[in-house]
Amino acid sequence: MFTKILIANRGEIACRVIKTARKMGIATVAVYSEADKDALHVELADEAVCIGPAPSKESYLVMDKIIAACKQTGAQAVHPGYGFLSENETFSRRLEEEGIVFIGPKHYSVAAMGDKIASKKLAGEAGVSTIPGYNEAIAGPEQAVQIAKDIGYPVMIKASAGGGGKGLRVAFNDQEAFEGFSACQTEARNSFGDDRVFIEKFVEEPRHIEIQVLGDAHGNVVYLNERECSIQRRHQKVIEEAPSPFLDVATRKAMGEQAVALAKAVNYQSAGTVEFVVGRDRSFYFLEMNTRLQVEHPVTEFITGLDLVEQMIRVAAGEPLQIRQQDVQLNGWAMECRINAEDPFRGFLPSTGRLVKFVPPAENAAGAQGAVRVDTGVFEGGEISMFYDSMIAKLIVHAPTRDQAIACMREALNGFVIRGIASNVPFQAALMQHPRFRSGQFTTNFIAEEYPHGFSAADVPHENPAVLVSVAAAIHLRYLERQSRIVGQLPGHEFKLSRHYVVQLRDAEYAVEVDAIEGGHRVVLNGKPYDVLADWKFVDPIFRGTINGEEFVLQAERVGLKYRLFHWGVRVDVGVVSRRAAALMKLMPKKAPPDLSRFLLSPMPGLLTHLAVQVGQDVKAGETLAKIEAMKMENVLKAEQDCKVAEILAKPGESLSVDQAIIRFA
């Protein structure tokens, strides 16, 4: 067994590997860029080596620097995590040549599965079900149209070297096939330096289901059941769960056996994932093999009881698998939500900056409410950088049944406090209570179909507004009770508490009566009492207690004269006023918002990389005005109408904040 390993990665996956290595008694070496000098993985590792500037192409992607760090520290092996160099056959081979063990598959296995066209051919030869299609490189759009006709619409056009949703189009007719081929080829050339494109049958009502495999150097391969990954937004996974609510025993066995056959065909020696697209009739077809640890590996760990990182390390050290296929468990239900630094209410634009407050739900072992696990690489006071991906944390739960896992996840999301930047927690919480998700009857098109115009607060009705009303009223009385105890009040003019208030929630008003009772307050709404009992302090962001004996968790903070509550995906600013104040407020004129139509505002925090206009220039609708880069994404800002540039308010190279003015129009 190794005595020291280097983790060629950052963020939560680096912290995850360090955790297992420490459990195994193995020393760890972290590598970091200048932007990550104060990162959590640097603090957790036994040693750390700086490998260059913030951009990943100058640090985390530079093989020479990582190999040099291994030699400098005496690390015997490298765990690549996921992303960066984790599926780079050259990196795997170079480590091997330097006498350093790659904690992952052999370079020839990576090479065999790294090319989508080659891997599909190999899968077919291994007896794996593949989607009908044309697997040779296609000469041009005319040939693409003819091939699409022969296969039968709809078809999927994919770049051979694609990934992350780039170089992918679905065509339903000749015109879409022609245009889609050209677009995919251009994207593939620009993103991957490889413009080969292939076409295959598009599976209707598709689900994305993947099989986790584990192989060793002694010819043993097992499958560790499946993960359901169909909840995706723009081809990026949002929620993963294990097992799938769609598969039956026979389909699971057939998919698992085909995944094992493919792994054996390439002499696979590590943890890997074989991805399938599954149709509505449970027909399944090979998509690709990910020759690395997946982001969503914790859900498999929960249902099988295995530590996949530990298994990878043991296999890399030459140990045989200690588990046979008949030993693989399928215990309960696990679910993972990816918590990302993005604003769901602003089109999921990246959000960067300081984590002013970061309080994840407490981790716990399996109990009545299920188990909760948080994998993260950030901490309160740390910074979410514009240079890397947007993941803040992974929230994973495990319970005996799917319904219990959903309930456990809902409570955990209620208690996940993130301030200073926007996060997708409200969106995740909304998905958890969506009837279609809860039924398990969804496809990869779920988010696009249910939120065709994006996500807004109006998309999240609260199941029980009485919870928000009663908690807001109870909190308000707590503040008033504190005011009533201020010393030095003039005799005869003491602060007097009322029992009658109006709670203003969204566009509705609720008349309530509030009285103090032992341990909390009784709020009477529409004649029904709600006993709100909680040991809550004003500085606590989490309000945890009971309402009429039922436990609940929500987030609460005072914002101006209102109370901002977050519960079940709903975030609202609630006002609590006297009945007289509520009547007078209805007579107040509404203040018109400022006219910002003459300005181009930055929709997100990021780096202004390009200004395409100058003062005095006439611009036509649709023309590019500026480009902003954040979290490896380039966002192009275009003119919405014909206009003339009057003033440039920001310079290329400048870091912009949300809604910062870039251009003023005449």
Domains of the chain, each with CATH number or no CATH:
4-103 (3.40.50.20), 133-201 (3.30.1490.20), 206-331 (3.30.470.20), 337-460 (3.30.470.20), 465-485+495-585 (3.30.700.30), 599-665 (2.40.50.100)
Residue 98 CA to its chain's centroid (Å)? 36
Residue given tokens 């969804």 in the structure block? 442
Element (H, E) at 120: helix 116-125
Q: What is the pLDDT of residue 368?
A: 54
Q: How many CA atoms lie within 13 A of 585 on its CB side?
A: 12
Q: How buried is residue 42: exposed, middle or buried, by Cβ count under 10 Å (0-12/13-18/19+)? A: buried
Q: What is the pLDDT of residue 165?
A: 62
Q: What is the pLDDT of residue 141?
A: 92
Cis peptide leading into 154, omega within 30 of 0? Answer: yes
CA trace torsion 342, 344, 347, 352 (10° rounding):
-20
**Residue 517 CB neighbour total at 10 angstroms:** 11
Residue ranges in the chain modelled with pLDDT below 50: none
Q: How buried is residue 121: exposed, middle or buried, by Cβ count under 10 Å (0-12/13-18/19+)? A: middle
Asked if 393 and 374 touch (Cβ cutoff 8 Å), the reply is: yes
Rounded to a whole number of angstroms, the distance between the first and last alpha carbons of the chain is 69
Residue 501 CA to its chain's centroid (Å)? 40
CA-wise closest residue to 119 among 257, 244, 272, 256: 272
Q: What is the pLDDT of residue 344?
A: 92
Q: What is the pLDDT of residues 245-288, one digit of tens each?
A: 999 999 999 999 999 999 999 999 999 999 999 998 899 999 99
Q: What is the pLDDT of residue 162?
A: 63
**What strands, in cross-sheet order, belong to the sheet with 166-171?**
133-134, 197-201, 155-163, 166-171
Q: What is the pLDDT of residue 342?
A: 92
Residues serving a catalytic function are 288
